[in-house]
């Protein structure tokens, strides 16, 4: 079984880390991550840019593009895609295509990645 | 167990919203600041024991308000303070409070707080320290170091600024759309100026350089509250893209390294990624304005993996756009740099020379003029221009950079 582990924290705090604090946290996490990689259990790892870089696409009949992150609490996070795009326009185009195919309401939050590590074979 | 560093970071990040809300409540800057201070002390005591509250900002506002009200009552009636435990029992109070204070309230509170700091009754030398003290919570000692004055003198400057504000009529009513836009405009300018203070000092003065980071924090704060304002996206993008280059801007001796000679491997990639993402978002609005245009120029530099790949023609066009929006000899001077790459040094010099009257006291004018003359083989004139530049250099790093040019002239002639 594959599990996703989603990271929640205050971005105010995390994005205000000094270089040293950042390096220390990454070193601590790195120990765990490398262990998982050696065991062949580590899939993709991603770190997202702050929510200020996000754009939200409201799905449904009238697709609506909104600046900022997905802020509602009525819906739950059900999954995600990671797609290579040249810019936000292409990312939105892709999201709209997926939205059209999904046939449900809800939303896609489009957020660029700060860090991506593809990971080895898992599962 | 709770990390003390986490609590401190949470207090810093809650500060603008909390002080802003307390200011709306008490309508007095000192009371609001003290109330936040008291609430912070209580947080340091209670959060490690009870765990952090669900909404730290709402907690701080509620506790700050209660403490200040109790303090006032005590002053009025000499009545004893209620028991500490009763005062801090917030489990029930927190949720309705958090619901009542939605983002829209915070938005106007923080904007008001920042707007008060750039009040026209204050000089720029007062505005920036006041904003750093009140909004960002930077200790007076650090602000004093950043501005190279003694702590007592800075304390006095801030106290005077507060007195001026207290005497002026402060805008406590909720602003209308036009007023909100005007406030946002003034505040954006102040954030930009705070950034410049830090940016120009990077490499030489560490304390002052930290202001660049503070400005980015403020820009992100504005962006989170005004998430569909393209010019705020542009401002944040501009600051991030400029700041990303800081690790590459000076050599080991502290001399300036110009953009084209910088080791691009030292540029901060995640800041660049964030800046590029923001300018992408801004452009979708099709409402170009000065910060966005400047950010777009910075983005073109950031996108070039090597200096030769820089799209100078596009940069020239963007500077021409900026000249139309915001005519200024400094913008024309910057455009001349792009022109020197696309149409050559002679064309650039032609553009630069008429600026002499207005920029005769501006260090970069003589630096660029010297470099262009040098490229055209007019060595004596170049030497004169570099000489003027050194005399006008604002920092040791700037002077050292020009001296390097002069030395190479002497060597080659």
CA B98 to chain centre: 29
Beta-bridge partners for A66: A56
Average pLDDT over residues B157-173: 85
B166/B309: higher pLDDT? B309
CATH number at residue A112: 3.30.70
Lowest mean pLDDT among A3-17, A101-115, B34-48, B165-179: B165-179
Complex ipTM more than 0.90, yes or no: no
In a domain, B11, yes or no: yes
Distance CA A123, CA A121 (A): 7
Closest residue to B227, CB basis, from A10, A15, A68: A68
Closest CA to B365 of B400, B332, B321: B332
More confident residue, B146 or B382: B382
pLDDT, tens digit (0-9, with 9 covering 90-100), for B394-403: 778 888 888 8
The number of domains in chain A is 1
User: Cβ–Cβ of A16/B9 closer than 8 Å?
Assistant: yes
- Phi–psi pair at B90, nearest 5 degrees: -110, 5
Taking the C-alpha atoms of residue A75 and residue A70, their distance in angstroms, rounded to an integer, is 10
Question: Do the Cβ atoms of A53 and B274 come within 8 Å?
Answer: yes
Cβ distance B372 to B338 under 8 Å? Answer: no
How many structural domains compose chain B?
1
Confidence band of B98 (pLDDT split at 50, 70, 90): very low
Quick one: three-class SS letters along chain B? Answer: CCCHHHHHHHHHHHHHHHHHHHHHHHCCHHHHHHHHHHHHHHHHHHHHHHCCCCCHHHHHHHHHHHHHHHHHHHHHHCCCCCCHHHHHCCHHHHHHHHHHCCHHHHHHHHHHHHHHHCCCCCCHHHHHHHHHHHCCCCCHHHHHHHCCCCHHHHHHHHHHHHHHHHHCCCCCCCCCHHHHHHHHHHHHHHHHHHHHHHHHHCCCCHHHHHHHHHHHHHHHHHHHHCCCCHHHHHHHHHHHHHHCCHHHCECCCCCECCHHHCCHHHCCHHHHHHHHHHHHHHHCCCCCCHHHHHHHHHHHHHHCCCHHHCCHHHHHHHHHHHHHHCCCHHHHHHHHHHHHHHCCHHHHHHHHHHHHHHHCCCHHHHHHHHHHHHHCCCHHHHHHHHHHHHHHCCCHHHHHHHHHHHHHHHHHC
Mean pLDDT of B317-335: 96
A-chain residues within 8 Å CB-CB of B224?
51-52, 68
CA R_g for chain B: 25
On whether residue B71 sits in a domain, the answer given is yes
Quote the radius of gyration of chain A (alpha carbons, Å): 17
The region, left, alpha or beta by phi > 0 then psi within -120 to 50, assigned to residue B180 is alpha
pLDDT at A21: 87
Q: Grade residue B9 by pLDDT with cuts at 50, 70 and 90.
A: confident
* pLDDT value, residue B93: 46
Mean pLDDT of chain B: 88
B153: pLDDT strictly greater than 70: yes
Nearest CA to B177 out of B107, B79, B78 is that of B107
Give the Cα separation of B237 and B291 in Å (integer): 8
Domain containing B43 equals: 4-101
Q: Is residue B391 part of a domain?
A: no
Residue B204 covered by a domain: no
**Residue A54 near residue A109, CB atoms below 8 Å:** yes
For residues B285 and B8, the model is more confident at: B285
Q: Are residues B273 and A112, on separate chains, in Cβ contact within 8 Å?
A: yes
Q: Which of A43, A104, A103 is nearest to A75 (CA)?
A: A104
pLDDT of A28 reads 95
Domain containing residue A22: 11-117
**B32 domain-assigned:** yes
**Which chain B residues contact residue A112 at CB under 8 A?**
273-274, 277
Judge whether residue B170 has pLDDT over 90.
no
The whole-number average pLDDT for the span B160-167 is 89
Tens-digit pLDDT profile for residues B212-243: 998 999 999 999 989 999 999 999 999 999 99
Nearest-CA distance from A102 to chain B in Å? 25
pLDDT (mean) for B8-22: 91
Site of tokens 């170091």: B145
Mean pLDDT over B68-92 rounds to 62
Residue B338 falls inside a structural domain: no
Tokens representing B128 are: 């920036």
In a domain, A2, yes or no: no
Q: Is the pLDDT of residue B74 over 80?
A: no
**Is residue B96 predicted with pLDDT exceeding 70?**
no
pTM of structure = 0.87
C-beta of residue B90 within 8 angstroms of C-beta of residue B59: yes
Name the helix (H) or strand (E) containing A28.
Answer: helix A19-38
pLDDT at A51: 94
User: Exposed (0-12), middle (13-18) or buried (19+): which is B170, by Cβ within 10 Å?
Assistant: middle
Q: What's the distance, CA B185 to chain centroid?
A: 14
Those residues with Cβ within 8 angstroms of residue A109's Cβ, 6 or more apart along the chain or in another chain: A54, A55, A56, A57, A69, A70
| 3-state secondary structure at position A103 | coil
Nearest to B270 among A13, A21, A114 (CB): A114
User: Reduced to 3 states, what is the DSSP secondary structure of residue A24?
Assistant: helix
In this prediction, residue B81 carries a pLDDT of 53
| Crossing angle of helices B269-283 and B230-243, rounded to 10° | 160
Contact B378, B359 (CB under 8 A): no
Domain assignment present for residue B224? The answer is no
- pLDDT at residue B99 in the model: 46
Q: Output the tens digit of pLDDT for each of chain A's 123 residues.
A: 999 999 998 888 888 788 888 899 999 999 999 999 999 999 999 999 999 999 999 998 888 999 999 988 788 999 999 999 999 999 999 999 999 998 888 999 999 999 999 987 776
Which of B13, B220, B284 has the CB atom closest to A50's CB atom? B220
Please indicate whether, in this complex, the C-beta atoms of B284 and A66 are within 8 angstroms of each other.
Answer: no
pLDDT above 70 covers what percent of chain B?
Answer: 92
Tokens of B254: 């502290």
pLDDT in tens, B194-208: 999 899 887 777 778
Residue A122 lies in a domain: no
Cβ–Cβ gap A52/B6 under 8 Å? no
Is residue A5 included in any domain, yes or no?
Answer: no
C-alpha to C-alpha distance for B319 and B129, rounded to whole angstroms = 32
Answer whether residue A95 is part of any domain.
Answer: yes
Of residues B315 and B401, more confidence is placed in: B315
B89 pLDDT band, cuts 50/70/90, is very low
How far is B143 from B132, CA to CA, in rounded Å? 7
The answer to whether position A40 is within a domain reads: yes
Q: CB–CB of A40/A78 below 8 Å?
A: no
For residue B157, the model assigns a pLDDT of 95
With a cut of 60, say whether residue B302 has pLDDT above it.
yes
What's the pLDDT at B327? 94
Question: How far away is chain A from the Cα of B276, in angstroms, using its nearest Cα?
Answer: 9
Tell me which chain B residues have a C-beta less than 8 angstroms from the C-beta of A115: 270
CA atoms of B264 and B247, how far apart (whole Å): 9
């Amino acid at each position: 079984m594959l599990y996703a582990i989603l990271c929640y924290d205050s971005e105010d705090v995390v994005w205000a880390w000094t270089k040293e604090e950042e390096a220390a946290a990454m070193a601590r996490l790195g120990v765990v991550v490398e262990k998982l990689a050696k065991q062949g259990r580590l899939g993709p790892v991603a770190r997202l840019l702050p929510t200020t870089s996000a754009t939200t696409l409201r799905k449904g009949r009238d697709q609506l593009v909104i600046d900022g992150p997905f802020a509602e609490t009525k819906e739950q996070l059900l999954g995600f895609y990671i797609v290579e795009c040249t810019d936000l326009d292409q990312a939105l185009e892709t999201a709209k295509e997926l939205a059209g195919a999904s046939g449900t309401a809800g939303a896609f939050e489009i957020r660029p990645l700060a860090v991506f590590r593809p990971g080895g074979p898992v599962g | 167990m709770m990390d003390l560093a986490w609590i401190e970071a949470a207090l810093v990040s809650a500060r603008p919203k909390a002080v802003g809300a307390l200011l709306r409540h008490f309508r007095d800057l000192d009371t609001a600041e003290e109330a936040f201070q008291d609430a912070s002390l209580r947080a340091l005591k209670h959060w490690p024991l009870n765990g952090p509250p669900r909404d730290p900002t709402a907690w701080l506002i509620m506790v700050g308000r209660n403490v200040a009200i109790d303090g006032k009552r005590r002053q009025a009636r000499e009545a004893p303070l209620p028991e500490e435990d009763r005062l801090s029992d917030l489990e029930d109070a927190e949720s309705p409070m958090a619901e009542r204070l939605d983002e829209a309230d915070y938005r106007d509170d923080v904007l008001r707080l920042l707007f008060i700091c750039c009040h026209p009754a204050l000089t720029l030398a007062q505005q920036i320290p006041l904003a750093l003290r009140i909004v960002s919570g930077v200790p007076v000692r650090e602000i004093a170091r950043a501005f190279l004055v003694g702590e007592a003198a800075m304390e006095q400057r801030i106290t005077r600024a507060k007195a001026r504000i207290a005497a002026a009529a402060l805008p406590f009513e909720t602003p209308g759309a036009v007023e909100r836009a005007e406030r946002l405009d003034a505040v954006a300018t102040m954030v930009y100026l705070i950034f410049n203070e830090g940016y120009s000092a990077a490499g030489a003065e560490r304390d002052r350089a930290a202001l660049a980071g503070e400005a980015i924090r403020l820009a992100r704060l504005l962006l989170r509250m005004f998430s569909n304002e393209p010019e705020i996206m542009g401002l944040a993008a501009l600051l991030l893209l400029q700041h990303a280059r800081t690790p590459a801007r000076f050599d080991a001796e502290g001399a300036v390294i110009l953009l084209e000679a910088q080791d691009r491997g030292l540029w901060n990639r995640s800041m660049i990624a964030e800046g590029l993402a923001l300018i992408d978002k801004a452009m979708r609005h099709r409402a170009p304005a000065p910060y966005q245009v400047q950010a777009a120029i910075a983005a073109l530099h950031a996108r070039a993996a090597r200096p030769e790949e820089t799209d100078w023609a596009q940069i020239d066009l963007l500077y021409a756009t900026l000249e139309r929006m915001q005519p200024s000899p400094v913008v024309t001077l910057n455009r001349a740099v792009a022109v020197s790459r696309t149409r050559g040094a002679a064309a650039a010099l032609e553009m630069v020379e008429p600026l002499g009257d207005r920029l005769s006291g501006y260090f970069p004018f003589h630096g660029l003029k010297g470099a262009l003359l040098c490229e055209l083989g007019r060595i004596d004139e170049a030497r004169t221009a570099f000489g003027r530049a050194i005399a006008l250099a604002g920092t040791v790093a700037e002077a050292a950079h020009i001296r390097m040019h002069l030395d190479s002239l002497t060597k080659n002639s």
